[in-house]
Amino acid sequence: MGAPSSQIRLLLVEDVTQVAQYIRNLLNSQDQVMVNRADSAGGIDPRAVAEQLVGEPEFQLVSDGRLVVEANNQGVPFVLVEPEAPISKQVADIATRLLKSRAAAVAGAR
């Protein structure tokens, strides 16, 4: 396992109470938060997460069940099926930001 700054934690929760408990108990200053299905009525409201974090989540993904499920059923990454879809663009942006952050951390450690 790498240093905490190089780990990704996946949190699967249904409500803000669970998010708040996780945030209070486990997050450290280097952790970044992503809200999945941020625009979905069934998802967690990013504003509620922001209240618990005292700041906005670093990343948000829209809900696009149709594309994600269809691509999954075909065994193809949805970012390749529809690269211009909002969720695909968001995943690309998240990956770019994480890579830049990691590269800056590695450069700073030298």
- Please tell me whether residues 54 and 27 are part of one structural domain: yes
Distance of CA 71 to the CA centre of its chain: 19
Which residues in the chain show pLDDT less than 70? 1-30, 42-44, 52-55
So what's the pLDDT on residue 88? 95
Decide: pTM greater than 0.85. no
The total number of residues written for the chain in this structure: 110
Q: Are residues 74 and 57 in the same domain?
A: no
Compute the distance between CA of residue 109 and CA of residue 77 in angstroms, rounded to an integer.
34
Query: Same domain, yes or no, for 72 and 83?
Result: yes
Residue range(s) defining the domain that contains residue 41: 1-63
Q: Into how many domains does the chain fold?
A: 2
Asked if 63 and 54 touch (Cβ cutoff 8 Å), the reply is no
DSSP class of 27: -
Dihedral of CA 59/41/44/82: which sign? negative
Q: Quick: pLDDT tens for 80-93.
A: 999 999 999 999 99
Closest CA to 51 of 20, 18, 15, 14: 20
Give yes or no: residues 53 and 77 share one domain.
no
